[in-house]
């Protein structure tokens, strides 16, 4: 008689997670009166696309959208355009004076029982699901992980001084990565570190959330992502995003 194979070991369930979507920036580089998350991409707000992609992360139970009070109604309408699963809770938090203030507000609105949190730019509508899942697993294991891509172009450092910018030197690309989002953390850890940042360094401004970990010597895992995880920052980025959608690359 044929031997029956042993049952395969069950895959561990993904950690329960919440996501903080930061949509409270000034969008100064884009220009115009409409802020980036609410510009349209194929007839839908960018925020709608972003929410729909983040919702695909296994184990995600909640999304907190951080937005300016004057944009709250617009953010709610954008969320209504996203195809979100019914089990997913949706909340909103007010933005702060700086990005790190907005993120901290969002973190404090996340569910207390979430093991990890993903912090993501609203203007990045196409984060790769496999890389996000890997970052969640790494953050649950190590405490922190971010999506990033190795630097491919030659990097130049500008010479100090006023006037026309001049090259001071070529910087080695070895070991250099370009940070993306989402950046993923154990919830208790990142709340603790953000809580330390304000009283210990009130004037320090961080441009991404992993920098808070770096400041307090918390290791952060790098997860290789994709160039398609672009941040829509300038007007020329919109047709690139449209092309990615049209070709099925996003």
pLDDT tens, residue by residue, 119-159: 999 999 999 999 999 999 999 999 999 999 999 999 999 99
- 99-106: average pLDDT: 96
Q: Residue 189: how many CB atoms within 10 A of its CB?
A: 17
Determine contact, residues 183/119, Cβ cutoff 8 Å: yes
Least confident of 17-31, 57-71, 72-86, 159-173: 17-31
Tokens 């699901």 -> residue: 129
Residue 187 reports pLDDT greater than 70:
yes
Residue 1 reports pLDDT greater than 60:
no
Residue 199 reports pLDDT greater than 70:
yes
The structure's pTM equals 0.92
Q: In the chain, where are the structural domains located? A: 17-246
pLDDT of residue 116: 98
Options 3.90.550.10, 3.40.1440.10, 3.40.140.10, 3.40.470.10; which CATH number does 17-246 get?
3.90.550.10
Rounded to whole angstroms, the Cα distance separating 95 from 122 reads 13
**In angstroms, how far is CA 37 from the centroid of its own chain?**
13
| 229-239 per-position pLDDT tens digit | 999 999 999 99
Tokens 């507000």 -> residue: 105
Residue 4 reports pLDDT greater than 60:
no
């Amino acid at each position: 008689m044929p031997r029956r194979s042993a049952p395969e070991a069950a895959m561990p369930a993904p950690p329960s997670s919440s996501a903080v979507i930061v949509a409270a920036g000034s969008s100064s580089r884009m220009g115009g009166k409409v802020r980036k998350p609410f510009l349209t991409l194929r007839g839908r707000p960018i925020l709608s696309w972003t929410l729909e992609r983040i919702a695909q992360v296994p184990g995600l139970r909640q999304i907190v959208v951080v937005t300016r009070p004057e944009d709250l109604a617009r953010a709610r309408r954008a969320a209504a355009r996203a195809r979100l699963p019914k089990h997913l809770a949706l909340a909103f938090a007010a933005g702060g004076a700086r990005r790190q203030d907005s993120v901290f507000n969002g973190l404090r609105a996340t569910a207390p029982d979430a093991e990890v949190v993903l912090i993501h730019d609203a203007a990045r509508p196409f984060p790769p699901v496999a890389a996000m899942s890997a970052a969640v697993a790494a953050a649950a294991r190590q405490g922190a992980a971010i999506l990033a891509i190795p630097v491919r172009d030659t990097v130049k450092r500008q010479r100090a001084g006023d006037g026309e910018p001049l090259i001071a030197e070529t910087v080695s690309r070895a070991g250099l990565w370009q940070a993306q989002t989402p950046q993923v953390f154990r919830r208790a850890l990142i709340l603790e570190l953000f809580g330390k940042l304000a009283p210990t360094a009130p004037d320090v401004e961080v441009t991404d959330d992993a920098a808070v970990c770096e400041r307090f010597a918390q290791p952060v895992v790098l997860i290789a992502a994709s160039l398609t995880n672009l941040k829509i920052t300038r007007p020329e980025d919109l047709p690139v995003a449209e092309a990615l959608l049209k070709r099925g690359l996003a």
